[in-house]
Chains A and B, each alone.
Chain A
Amino acid sequence: MDAIRTEALTKHYTVGFWRPRPYVALDSLTLQVGQGEVFGFLGPNGAGKTTTLKLLMQLIYPTSGHAEILGKPVGDVGVKRRTGYLPEQPYFYDYLTAEELLAYFGALFGFTAGERRRRAAALLDEVGIGKERRLPLRKFSKGMLQRVGIAQAILNEPDIVFLDEPMSGLDPLGRREIRQLILRLRDRGCTVFFSSHVLADAETLCSRVAILAKGRLVTAGRLSDMVAFDVRGWELVVSGLTEAALKETQARGHVTSATRVAEGRYALELPLTPPPEETTAALIARGAALVSLTPVRDTLEDFFVRQVSGATDSRFRETA
């Protein structure tokens, strides 16, 4: 049995007051996610990711098509007991404390008072909310709210957790903690379905991904099968570089472009050939010092541009 299955799931919204027209937010999405997978649901802003998650949470109803979670239609109360959901930019009752909020949600799951306290304390520890747990949520920063949001999404030790942009609003440390948390959930056997527009998140976490653009599924499968992560150049940052040395290297065609960052410090774009080690060594020999050397790869955005370029179809449907 699939964890998640959608068949031709479609959502139209009506836009326009004087001349209402259907706008296709999601167009015939057919998707299967196996149990225990960490599944990345990727796409640029406005691709239909949140619409899909809202359909799966039955916050909105499909115009047509069908969706199932754990073999049951979405909205089934039994299934809701086994799932967790973090909405994009979550907002909670700001008059409650983090502890009270989790206790309230725990009560909705039917946990006893003791169980609610135990779970709330353990989860707030896990997401890194310390003494602030006794403050009203109105005093929380965006990142702290995101952590509370993640805690409430896994309060019931779900079999499937849906996370809409889980890294949003988090600092680098927070992002790393959430990545580790997602991997711990996977190790517990939990299916993680998360949406993101950041390729790096998917790269480090996902077993499979689906890519959505303009409300349509572009492709689904293993990320490495879809995007060739070939290096297409290098970014070299050096300091102590003289203008003469730079001009000489450029003249040999070993530098595609150069940006002066500070006095003697440059960010250089290098082509694939000659190998970057060679150019770096030549520059070091001319008195420069290496600051960093980073491969330049295709980004998800690049991939999208290729996938959707030339697609001129409008997401508005003309009414007869």
Chain B
Amino acid sequence: MRVIGHVAVNVFKESVRDKILYNLVVFAVLLISASYLIGELTAGQDVKIIKDLGLASISIFGLLIAIFIGIGLVWKEVEKRSIYTLLPKPMRRQEFLLGKYFGLVLTLVINVAVMTLALYAVLAYMQAATPENIRASWPAPATDPAMLKAIALIVLELLLVTAIALFFSTFSSPFLSAMMTVAVWVIGHFNEDLRNYGATIASPVAATIAKGIYYFVPNFAAFDVKLQVVHAQPIPLRYLALTSFYGVTYVAFVLLAAVVIFSKRDFK
């Protein structure tokens, strides 16, 4: 555990020095300027739009970091040969890999936390600046704590995307890893369609393949409750718990597969 922690902290340090966290500035500027512009254009809908935009941005910024840093986590170490000095230190290969994973997770969690605070700050300002009669028409208060549910599921989705990117990066080039991670993510968002594919197509072979992919690729759509939260629809705790269990189990399996491949790899 100690070794995993040190490797993770180093990954975080790398992302800070590589100025990854600058995306937070872009996020803040985007959010503040959008709230100003939308406030000028619409009445009553502006809070909903900002919530929508804020949650979508948290998700997209997180995904970009998870994919584009995740695919380089192992590849960069091998390509630049820094792994040659690291692995002979008293550590197991799985500790190195898990350290890399948790380092990026740490970066992502801090990123999402800061973006969440920025979003709530902008929304709190909008709430304070909006007259009482307009606020009464909102389906939920601007600083609705239910948004945290959507953000928790975004984090869970990012944990899974990071694990998938890391998995591909243990044996493939960054370009291929990025392609495959994005492909899995996109397919995962249309998972429901795959399940129902059999009803719309005559070919049983195609239907079976679609069903196979449905069971193999994670159901990313399950992690997306942004729309429900923005429209103040309830998200049952049971749904949160089950989705979390599903996500964590998937992450564990993907990491296990990554460890198995990485442990057997030759670093020529």
Which residue numbers of A lie inside 8 Å of B, CB to CB? 13, 54, 57-61, 77-78, 80-81, 83-87, 89-93, 95-96, 104-105, 107-110, 149, 152
Which residue numbers of B lie inside 8 Å of A, CB to CB? 2-3, 6-7, 10, 13-14, 17-18, 80-92, 264, 266-268
Pair A80/B88 contact, Cβ less than 8 Å: yes
In the complex, which residue of chain B has the Cβ closest to the Cβ of A51? B268
Please judge, given known A-B contacts A95-B18, A108-B3, whether A80 and B268 are in contact too, CB under 8 Å.
Answer: no
Pair B14/A90 contact, Cβ less than 8 Å: no
Q: Which of A60, A90, A95 has the most CB of B within 10 A?
A: A95
Please judge, given known A-B contacts A77-B90, A77-B92, A95-B13, whether A107 and B6 are in contact too, CB under 8 Å.
Answer: yes
Please judge, given known A-B contacts A81-B90, A104-B6, A109-B90, whether A93 and B82 are in contact too, CB under 8 Å.
Answer: yes
Other contacts beyond A54-B268, A59-B267: 11, CB < 8 A = A13-B268, A58-B87, A60-B268, A77-B90, A77-B91, A80-B88, A80-B91, A85-B84, A85-B85, A90-B81, A104-B6
Pair A87/B90 contact, Cβ less than 8 Å: no
CB-CB < 8 A to B3: which residues of A?
108
Q: How far is the CB of A11 from chain B (nearest CB, A)?
A: 9
CB-defined A-B contacts under 8 Å, sample of 10:
A61-B264, A77-B92, A83-B88, A85-B84, A85-B88, A89-B81, A104-B10, A108-B7, A110-B2, A110-B90
Please judge, given known A-B contacts A95-B18, A107-B6, whether A59 and B84 are in contact too, CB under 8 Å.
Answer: yes
Pair A92/B266 contact, Cβ less than 8 Å: no
Q: How far is the CB of A109 from chain B (nearest CB, A)?
A: 6
CB-CB < 8 A to A57: which residues of B?
84, 87-88
Please judge, given known A-B contacts A91-B81, A92-B85, whether A108 and B264 are in contact too, CB under 8 Å.
Answer: no
Please judge, given known A-B contacts A80-B88, A95-B18, whether A59 and B82 are in contact too, CB under 8 Å.
Answer: no
CB-CB < 8 A to B86: which residues of A?
108
Pair B89/A108 contact, Cβ less than 8 Å: yes
CB-CB < 8 A to B91: which residues of A?
77, 80, 108
C-alpha spacing A61/B265, complex, angstroms: 8
Pair A59/B266 contact, Cβ less than 8 Å: yes
CB-CB < 8 A to B84: which residues of A?
54, 57, 59, 85, 87, 90-91
Q: How far is the CB of A3 from chain B (nearest CB, A)?
A: 16
Q: How far is the CB of B26 from chain A (nearest CB, A)?
A: 21
C-alpha spacing A91/B87, complex, angstroms: 13
**6 closest A-B pairs by CB:** A87-B84, A95-B17, A60-B266, A80-B90, A85-B88, A108-B89
Q: Which of A78, A107, A108 has the most CB of B within 10 A?
A: A108
C-alpha spacing A107/B89, complex, angstroms: 10
Pair B267/A54 contact, Cβ less than 8 Å: yes
Q: Which of A93, A95, A152 has the most CB of B within 10 A?
A: A93
C-alpha spacing A54/B81, complex, angstroms: 12
Please judge, given known A-B contacts A87-B84, A104-B10, whether A109 and B89 are in contact too, CB under 8 Å.
Answer: yes
CB-CB < 8 A to A107: which residues of B?
6
CB-CB < 8 A to B82: which residues of A?
91-93
CB-CB < 8 A to A84: which residues of B?
88
Q: How far is the CB of B265 from chain A (nearest CB, A)?
A: 9
Pair A87/B266 contact, Cβ less than 8 Å: no
Q: Which of B6, B80, B89 has the most CB of A within 10 A?
A: B89
C-alpha spacing A77/B93, complex, angstroms: 11
CB-CB < 8 A to A96: which residues of B?
13
Pair A61/B266 contact, Cβ less than 8 Å: yes
Pair B87/A87 contact, Cβ less than 8 Å: no
Q: How far is the CB of A176 from chain B (nearest CB, A)?
A: 24
CB-CB < 8 A to B80: which residues of A?
91
In the complex, which residue of chain A has the Cβ closest to the Cβ of B81? A91
CB-CB < 8 A to A90: which residues of B?
81, 84-85
C-alpha spacing A109/B92, complex, angstroms: 12
Q: Which of A61, A89, A91, A95 contacts B14 (CB 8 A)?
A: A95
Q: How far is the CB of B27 from chain A (nearest CB, A)?
A: 23
Q: How far is the CB of B170 from chain A (nearest CB, A)?
A: 15
In the complex, which residue of chain B has the Cβ closest to the Cβ of A59? B267
Please judge, given known A-B contacts A59-B266, A60-B268, whether A93 and B10 are in contact too, CB under 8 Å.
Answer: yes
Q: Which of A54, A95, A105 contacts B89 (CB 8 A)?
A: A105
In the complex, which residue of chain B has the Cβ closest to the Cβ of A78? B90
Pair A87/B17 contact, Cβ less than 8 Å: no
CB-CB < 8 A to B90: which residues of A?
77-78, 80-81, 108-110
CB-CB < 8 A to A77: which residues of B?
90-92
Q: How far is the CB of A201 from chain B (nearest CB, A)?
A: 21
C-alpha spacing A107/B5, complex, angstroms: 10
